[in-house]
Amino acid sequence: MNNTVAVVIINWNGQKLLKRFLPSVINFSEEAKIYIIDNFSTDNSIQFVNKNYKKIKIINLNKNYGYAEGYNLGLKHVKEDIYILLNNDIEVTKNWIKPIIENFKHNNIDIAQPLLLDLKNPDYFDYSGAGGGFIDKYGYPYCRGRIYDKIEKNLNQFNNTFRIFWASGACFIIRKKIFNKLNGFDNSFFMHQEEIDLCWRAFNQGFNVFCIGESHIYHKGASTLNNNYKKDYFNFRNSLLTLLKNLPGKSLFSVIIRRFFIDFLLFIFFLIRGKFLTSLMIIKSYLYLIFNFKKVFNKRTKIFNSKKYYEHNSIIYEYIRFRKDNF
């Protein structure tokens, strides 16, 4: 039985991006039905799509719900078997969907991403997902092809189908039945790292996440959230929420306490570097965790995978101590 596929783009005031990037999606996604979930845009996004792309189905929301809840609400109106959740600043390539369909058909894959390359520097991987994501013991994310701001050149080293821990939200592919079974994204995240939380919940239930390296796309990046300090806040805060929700009980508090000391060192580091607002975002993240501890704790996963969720204890330590910039 062949799976039906939907490409679903979330949008908020992205008319310029849609004008630039929709043509490649339309031209190279003939295997899929295309949807746009609109987070109550106040520009002319919807008018532009209605005028120029009448075959695209638009799902209008009544306010800006962000990435997580925007998809949760919009996907209730999408009937296809496989969701390809695509940012509005992605340029896809010819035949990009075919390897996805083939791998989902013949391999035991529940969640996936393609290879993500940097649109501005096409010979290099993209920051937001590169060749697939992992986390260390303390919840800090990294990718094949990217560790912190160190980006590897694409030498076809990741052109395989490879098991990963988390798939990038820039192009997040998931079976509809798995998305529904996991109750979608956690809407309290709003944006950033909600895909890591969902993939960790999937890992705890034994589902499989892969990078499909035969498919590659280009990501512009940094298009929706230009305030870097707000981005810092969501990344620190949501990483802490992910740990509290998904860590096995036996290691929960020891890992979070050690994570606190690492973040404290980062707080000092950013202060010394003059990045006062970034340091403030770390404090703000912990204040959120303290005041919402009970609510987040009650969301804890009921099933935990006996396998290790990490391959490295601390990427920060290895990066500083051994100058290791790829994993």
- Is residue 175 domain-shared with residue 241, that is, in the same domain? no
Domain-embedded: residue 15: yes
Instruction: Look at residues 35, 42, 88 and name the one whose alpha carbon lies nearest to residue 63.
Output: 42
Provide the domain limits for residue 208. Answer: 5-219
Spatial separation of the C-alpha atoms in residues 281 and 256, rounded to whole Å: 18
- Is residue 208 domain-shared with residue 282, that is, in the same domain? no
Q: With beta carbons less than 8 A apart as the criterion, state whether 198 and 75 touch.
A: no
Give the residue from 200, 219, 238 where a domain finishes. 219
- Is residue 111 domain-shared with residue 255, that is, in the same domain? no
Give the residue from 167, 184, 219 where a domain finishes. 219
pLDDT tens string 82-113? 999 999 999 999 999 999 999 999 999 999 99
Number of domains in the chain: 2
- Is residue 164 domain-shared with residue 257, that is, in the same domain? no
Spatial separation of the C-alpha atoms in residues 110 and 82, rounded to whole Å: 9
pLDDT of the residue at 225: 43
- Is residue 104 domain-shared with residue 192, that is, in the same domain? yes
Give the residue from 174, 190, 219 where a domain finishes. 219
- Is residue 135 domain-shared with residue 156, that is, in the same domain? yes
Spatial separation of the C-alpha atoms in residues 155 and 153, rounded to whole Å: 6
Q: Which residues of the chain, if any, have pLDDT below 50?
A: 223-226
pLDDT of the residue at 228: 79
Domain-embedded: residue 270: yes
CATH of residue 85: 3.90.550.10
pLDDT of the residue at 224: 45
pLDDT of the residue at 139: 97
DSSP string, 32-96: EEEEEEE---SSSHHHHHHHH-TTSEEEE-SS--HHHHHHHHHGGG---SEEEEE-TTEE--TT-
pLDDT of the residue at 227: 52
Domain-embedded: residue 297: yes
Q: Take residue 326 and report the two structure tokens written for it.
A: 């790829």
Domain-embedded: residue 129: yes
Residues 6+ apart with CB under 8 A from 284: 233, 237
Domain-embedded: residue 77: yes
β partners of residue 218: 91, 117
Domain-embedded: residue 147: yes
pLDDT of the residue at 68: 94
- Is residue 207 domain-shared with residue 271, that is, in the same domain? no
